[in-house]
Amino acid sequence: MKIISYNVNGIRAALSKGFLTWAKASNADIICLQETKAQKEQLDLSLFQELYPYNYWFSAEKKGYSGVAILSKIKPNKVVYGTGIEYMDFEGRNLRADFDNFSVMSMYLPSGTNGDRLDLKLKYMDDFQGYINQLKKEIPNLIIGGDYNICHQAIDIHDPIRNANVSGFLPVEREWLDNFMKSGFIDSFRVFNQNPHQYSWWSYRANARNNNKGWRIDYNLVSKPLKDKLKNAYILPEAKHSDHCPVVVEIDNN
């Protein structure tokens, strides 16, 4: 079972850059999208139907902003839009699909780099932790794929010294992500790859991507009961439909 998480930074823009051709070649069973920046009615859903007959979209109320989606070849038993926490759901940041042996969530955590958004991000992080603590009691086999907008450790960012006071690498953010993992999740990528210079996002400025001056802020976090089901996890930096790239986890679904 191949599951991909991908912040597309606008699904309509990604489609114009060959997203569907890439998706077909990826042979993923499930793709979690973040930052779709589109209302469902703005999309020609028939474009997705052949590859992913089960596709679900949860948009922000504000047009052209945020939004998450799940594309699946397998019909889920249940789809849950949002968390029930109003200010989170208002921005279209959480979508979950429940299957027989596991559940997959597409999650887009806010950036804290704009104005007073850091306070909102920190509040979201705390409330999300509480929500997941309860959800795990009901659904122990959970995969949360998404853009967390946080680098976990110095190995996950190209310049940890200069970025030490930048949102996305602040001590308070890193501590939260560390505690979130310790609450029962595994960073699937680091199970299989401990090498530095492995990133999932690059600024559009200063030729950052070509120089691989990036950040690893996209994760497939897998709950600990699924640990023995992990088969592989990796990043696909050659996919260039966005300033992010896809991150992949493969699990045994038997």
The CA R_g of the chain, rounded to the nearest whole Å, is 17
Long-range contacts of 12-17 (CB under 8 A, 24+ apart): 12/37, 12/38, 12/42, 12/43, 13/37, 13/241, 13/242, 14/241, 14/242, 15/47, 17/240, 17/241
CA–CA distance, 126 with 224 (Å, rounded to integer): 20
Q: 55-79: b or e for each residue (b if 16 or more CB lie within 10 Å)?
A: bbbbbbeeeeebbbbbbbeeebeee
> Which of 29, 44, 126, 147 is flagged as catalytic?
147
Instruction: Say which amino acid occupies 169.
Output: F
φ and ψ of 248, to 5 deg:
-120, 140
- 147 catalytic per annotation: yes
Alpha-helix runs per DSSP H in the chain: 11-16, 19-26, 46-49, 86-89, 117-138, 171-182, 188-192
> How far is residue 14's CA from residue 180's CA, in Å, rounded to a whole number?
31
Residue 169 contacts residue 151 (beta carbons within 8 Å): yes
Instruction: Take residue 93 and report the two structure tokens written for it.
Output: 């940041």
Return the active site residues.
Answer: 147
